[in-house]
Chains A and B, each alone.
Chain A
Amino acid sequence: MRGLQLSLNQTQKLRLQRALDQLESLSSKANSNASVAVADTIPVNYEDCVLKGHGTLELDGEVVATLCGVVERVNKLVYVRTLRARYKPETGDIIVGRVTEIAPKRWRLDINFSQDAVLMLSSMNLPDGIQRRRTAVDELNMRSIFEENDIVCAEVRGFQHDGSLHLQARSQKYGKLERGQVLTISPYLVKRRKQHLHYLEEFGVDLILGCNGFIWVGEHVEAKGTLIEDQTDKAEQLNTKSSSSTFMSLEEQERTYTSLETRQNICRIANAVRVLANLGFSVTVEVIKETVYLSSSLNLDIHEMLGSEFYVLVAEGEATRKSMFTKKKG
């Protein structure tokens, strides 16, 4: 099992297997023969004209899959929805990326796509006013907004004519993410929803489920009043930080650390995401919260969440939850 190198004892093995079997039986009713492997023929009705979509290829009049995944049909379109793969961007997706390079008027970001994405300086809201022209000074100050390796939340703007992928961050909810950790999971485990930026009030934690499989778990940052202040504030903060960090004594640094309580919440949530992703379950806010509650109700230490017993419990929980759900529906 991927990423699951657990030493399970005999009973745990059986329990995990039973939970997974239960999940299998629940889904098999829906679409059992829609799964394909590479080079499988996809049955289509040739009398309708079929539109061959992503992951398909025509070969001697047959439609053949070029990927492993699940066949989806929308009207005339037939395509293969991949499971494990790199991120496939769609316009409007909210993503989390890491800055790899600062180029003239643009940043390049690693977003787990086949190329780095581009965030133009002109697609960013700058300190004073949205409509202002970008000046040469702005260009020189780009590093004070984002520098290499910074974690940035942005939105997919779309592909340009030259085939490059562009991002935009024209809202105060986007921007640099600090004081927290990034987890990388397979993008198919994150579902596209209305909300990807979550503020979990009870924990004081911001959770961003990036469509590209980068998950941000960090200390909650209060959305500041207007953009103008927000940005200048940030720039100033950064300036003071970068200039003084070398002089700041260890004690001073320690005072600015995330509070222990918030940190515990962040780690608990992060471990919940790790467990779910390793088991291959979809990662949604609801399930993450449930997993967190489960771990707290068991009085587990945070690091014990990555032990075998908790994995089995989460799998069993998922099986029960799904079967309840199907019963309700049925």
Chain B
Amino acid sequence: MRNSIRKTAMAAVSVMAVGLPAAQAQTLNMGVGSPVTSLDPHYHQLSPNNAVSDMIFDKLVGTDSAARNIPGLATEWRAVAPTVWEFKLRPNVTFHNGNAFTAEDVVFTIQRLPNVPNSPSSYAAYARPIVRMEIVDPLTIRFHTREPYPLMPLDMTNVRILDSETHANAATEDFNSGRAAIGTGPWRVVNHRNGDRIEFARNDNYWGDKPAFERVNYRMVTNDATRTASLLSGDLDVIDQVPTSDLTRLRRDPNISLAETVGLRLVFLGLDHLRAPDENSPQITDNEGRPLGRNPLRDVRVRRALSIAIDRKAIAERVMEGAATPSGQFLPPGTYSHVPGLEAPEYDADAARRLLAEAGYPNGFRITLSGPNDRYINDSRIIQAVGQMWTRIGVRTAVEAQTWSTFVGRAGRQEFSSFLIGWGSNPDGSHPLRNILATYSRERGWGASNRGRFSNAEVDALLTQSLSELDNEKREQLLIRAQRIAAEEVAVIPLHIQTNIWATRRGFTHQARVDELTRAQDTRPAAAR
């Protein structure tokens, strides 16, 4: 008798001992480096907001971890006519409050996009190509466009679907308070403290893969060192934006594992194409500091020289601690419209000097290289390294790093001759082409981020052609040709594509995403070792 009591007691103790970690594992603690500013999925286009929106809401077209389109709330889609896209909607999907998802909700969502008051960066652009929406039946919707519009599925990967009933009069504040943060996604919002944390509970009625955890504590820990320390102390289970300076140490730690993937963010140098060949560029002088009387950057030989003078491997290995891949183009291998065979330019200082001499600058010139110091990973150290490499071929480079808020304005006013900047692409060549490489034009909405004002008629023509080509393979060829021309012309000097890195504690695994989004559904308990 006594023995059996003891056995029971021991069994209870061992159950507790085993049960405890399991119970703790029901809550996932995530630490993210960038603050989420709003739970309204149509208020502010920003990666951290999109990540959280992906947890609460769904899109017609989803994307997998490699940024390929996968069925979301739409199960299939196709262009039924050159100007008509048809989306078949997923049946039996409900919102967190039990409302059924139908085509009405899609219409409501598209109509809301341009009508979110005070939005500092709206999603209106995704509604603009659609001139008319047609509900064929409750689970089929057609978007009519003015012209053939091949980018419709891509656009739909950015639009989170709301409920026409629940959100009829919902303002951004209602989402932030959690009252209107109701979607079809894998997580329900339990509590939201602006800029501090968001608490989620699992949506047990989710139509897709069930998340592994019951609750998520999604915390914003913006200080890099603290985020790492909290992971080490066990207060956080997963962190994103692992600082490169901690990489060596974390790789050695047996309790920590890293999830890495090459991303979609290219860090590159922009060059002054705006000043004519016989004009002065604002930050270029001859070796005595006198105006040069011409803009050497308009000579492709000079641009090429500056490009091959850079030892990209050294930057990726030393400055970036291996958390970058040298690149000669915007998109990483394996993505749609990646240019095959276009590698990162090889480092060759001698060839660079020869090119400079051919272009009429045997003794080089002086230039200022600007860049932000708080935006991209190790940004100010990269421009220092580039500055030294340029100086080595005779282009005496002064480096000027400044805070992003000042830098980006000056770059937009074409105050720089050369500058470092980054670009996070959508996985489609038309995205960087249209925004960075196309000729600046307000009417067409092109080149809005073309801060160097590169302009090439052939690139523009190919892009125009691609934007009305509905055949995906033909379109890809057009985009590849356009990107190849821009690379041959050295429109910009690509440096490297950043690696996206997450770190998890023992017992957790995280699926790294090329689009940088940190979402709780991508974390799972690790299989027992």
Q: Are A and B co-members of a single complex?
A: no
